[in-house]
Amino acid sequence: MSLHEITKVRKDVVRRSLRVRSTELLTPRMRRIVFESDELEGFDSPSPDDHIKIFLPANAGETPVMRDFTPRQWDIPNRTLTLDFALHESGPATEWARTAKPGDPLGIGGPRGSTVVADDFHWYLLVGDASALPSMARRLEGLREGVPVHVVAVVADSAEQQSLATRAAATTEWIVCMDDPRQQASALRDALAAWPFPEGDGFIWISAEASVARDLYTFVVDTWQHPAAWVKAAAYWTHHDTEPEAAH
Ligand SMILES: Cc1cc2nc3c(=O)[nH]c(=O)nc-3n(C[C@H](O)[C@H](O)[C@H](O)COP(=O)(O)OP(=O)(O)OC[C@H]3O[C@@H](n4cnc5c(N)ncnc54)[C@H](O)[C@@H]3O)c2cc1C
């Protein structure tokens, strides 16, 4: 295996029907929902930034609304899967999650593709908003003991700060800023500009609103001249008046 390998894994999409087992507010705007189903047999998610499609319940004849979510935890012997929903102002997924109760059905599909990043970099930088926290939390849980990792997370309120478990040598910078992409981009760029850039090879992961992810990708690759192969930037949601395309 070569150094800093980044491997793409493809799988056939499996659709599954789940039911809500329990719900819990992790913070005022982050609702954890544990699902159960015998159909979870064989479920796997090789990378922390995998996503599944959720299919929200629809009336007969209507097409279900689909959204992307991160498999936060899963326990196949107990047939459970956990998703963390960052609650925002309004949208079908956030509204469903806000009121979900035990027994409610939800369809899922995937994950279909995974990008598995080797845990052999000298350091990691994870940047994102509340919708990226489930993935960042997963990556932190998986990184090797003592590896330096810096997290920059933008949240709407200081009550949204979560405790993030890890064996890595993690530092976390919480930035409180409303869901406005322009404000988020500028606050995150300022935080990155002030960060003492470490020596050695680093992997940088960015996920946020589409224009924010694009802005930060440009900053990291053009201003820092960080190798593009060691940067992953993704649009996790799109503000209504910005382009609905992925960053990189
Ligand atoms: C790979 C991937 C993994 C993801 N994992 C998670 C996850 O684990 N947990 C999670 O909470 N989200 C996650 N997201 C983000 C989630 O898919 C989007 O936020 C999604 O748009 C929410 O759908 P909705 O029906 O609530 O709102 P939509 O109908 O999509 O949007 C309605 C309105 O709300 C705004 N909006 C949408 N999302 C947000 C947001 N996050 N913050 C503020 N405003 C928003 C939109 O601009 C729009 O105006 C992930 C996205 C991707 C691509």
∠ CA(179), CA(140), CA(6), 5° rounding?
Answer: 95
Domain of 96 in residue numbering reads as: 6-113
CA of 2 to the centre of ligand 1 (A): 35
Indicate whether 243 belongs to any domain: no
Q: Give the pLDDT confidence score for residue 207 in this predicted structure.
A: 98
Q: Single out the residue of 179, 127, 172 nearest to residue 156, CA to CA.
A: 179
Residues 81 and 160 grouped into a single domain: no
Is 91 strand, coil or helix?
A: coil
Would residue 96 count as lying in a domain?
Answer: yes
How confident is the model over 21-27, as a mean pLDDT? 98
**In the predicted model, is pLDDT for residue 131 greater than 70?**
yes
Residues 140 and 156 in one domain: yes
Answer whether residue 223 shows pLDDT above 80: yes
pLDDT at 241: 65
Closest to 55 measured CA to CA, from 109, 14, 111, 107:
107
Instruction: Tell me the average pLDDT across 210-221.
Output: 98
- Which residue among 27, 29, 131 has the greatest number of ligand 1 atoms within 8 angstroms of its CB, and so is best to mutate? 131
For residue 179, the tally of other CB atoms under 10 A from its CB is 18
Boundary of a domain, candidates 47, 78, 113:
113
> CA 108 to CA 148: how far, in whole Å?
34
Amino acid identity, position 184: Q
Nearest atom in ligand 1 to 94's CA: 26
* Cα 202 to averaged position of ligand 1 atoms, centre (Å): 28
Residue 199: is its pLDDT beyond 90? yes
**Would residue 246 count as lying in a domain?**
no
Q: How many CA atoms lie within 13 A of 207 on its CB side?
A: 21
Reply yes or no on whether the pLDDT at 247 is more than 90: no
Look up the pTM and report it.
0.96
CA dihedral 98, 99, 103, 105 (to 10 degrees): -70
In a domain? residue 244: no
Within-domain flag for 247: no
Whether 28 and 60 share a structural domain: yes
Q: Ligand 1: which residue has its CA nearest to atom 5?
A: 69
Domain count of the chain? 2
Whole-number pLDDT of residue 2: 86
pLDDT for 53-84, tens place per residue?
Answer: 999 998 888 889 999 999 999 999 999 999 99
Q: How confident is the model at residue 25 (pLDDT cuts 50, 70, 90)?
A: very high
pLDDT mean over 188-199:
97
In eight-state DSSP terms, residue 192 is H
For ligand 1, the distance from its centroid to the CA atom of residue 86, given in whole angstroms, is 8
> Would you state the pLDDT for residue 164?
97
State yes or no: pLDDT of 39 exceeds 50. yes
The atom of ligand 1 lying closest to the CA of 68 is: 17
Residues lining ligand 1, Cβ inside 6 A: 51, 67-70, 83-86, 88, 91-94, 131, 134, 179, 236-240
- Does one domain contain both 208 and 184? yes
Same domain, 106 and 23: yes
Rg for the chain, CA atoms, rounded: 18
Domain stop point among 52, 79, 113: 113
Q: Which atom of ligand 1 is nearest to the CA of 129?
A: 41
- At 242, is the pLDDT very low, low, confident or very high (cuts 50, 70, 90)? very low
Specify if 200 maps to a domain.
yes
| Ligand 1 atom 19, closest CA | 237
- Check if the beta carbon of residue 232 is closer than 8 Å to that of residue 204: yes
Task: Say if residue 243's pLDDT is above 70.
Answer: no
Per the prediction, the chain carries an average pLDDT of 95
Same domain? 83 vs 154:
no
Residues 86 and 44 in one domain: yes
Q: What is the pLDDT of residues 92-121, one digit of tens each?
A: 999 999 999 999 999 999 999 999 999 999
Q: Does some domain include residue 242? A: no
Distance CA 248, CA 242 (A): 16
Residue 12 has pLDDT above 90, yes or no: yes
d(CA 68, CA 236): 8
Bridge-based pairing state of the strands 202-209 and 113-117: unpaired
Q: How far is CA 38 from CA 5, 14, 18, 78, in A?
A: 35, 13, 8, 9
CATH code at 187?
3.40.50.80
| 133 and 220, same domain (yes or no) | yes
User: Residue 44 falls within a domain, yes or no?
Assistant: yes
105 Cβ contact partners less than 8 Å away, ≥ 6 residues apart: 17, 18, 19, 57
